[in-house]
Amino acid sequence: MKKEVGSKLANSVRQAKAKQPKEVIAVTSVAKTPSAAADVVIEAQATSSVFSSRRVWPD
């Protein structure tokens, strides 16, 4: 049973790899141009009570 499930899982991973599209976001563009949307969200959180609480900064 274990071997059968393991074989099926391994086979499915091989298939996923074969179908994998090759385009992945270039790393160079990442570090220099982080998502503006992410910035906005993080900024909003930084002003929330959660982040202003001293409990987040115990030291």
Partner 1 sequence: MLAQVFSVANQKGGTGKTTLSMNLAAGLSKRARTLIIDADPQGSAGQWAGLSPDERPFPVAVISIASNLPREIKRMREDYRYLVVDCPPTLETGVAQAAMTVSDKVLIPVLPSPVDLWASVRLAEAIEQVKIYNEALQPYILVNQLEPRNAMSRGMQQALDEFNIPALENGLRRRAIYRSSALEGSSVYCMGKRGEPAAQEIDALIEEILKS
Please give the residue ranges that form the binding site for partner 1 (CB under 8 A). Answer: 1-10, 12-14, 16-17, 20, 22, 24-31, 33-35, 37-39, 41-42, 45-46, 49-51, 53-59
C-alpha dist (Å) from residue 26 to 19, 22, 23, 32, 35: 20, 11, 9, 11, 14
Write down the least CB distance from residue 37 to partner 1, Å.
Answer: 8
- Least Å from the CB of residue 47 to partner 1: 11
**Matching residue, tokens 């992945």:** 24
The least distance separating partner 1 from the CB of residue 13, rounded to whole angstroms, comes to 4
**Those residues with Cβ within 8 angstroms of residue 29's Cβ, 6 or more apart along the chain or in another chain:** none
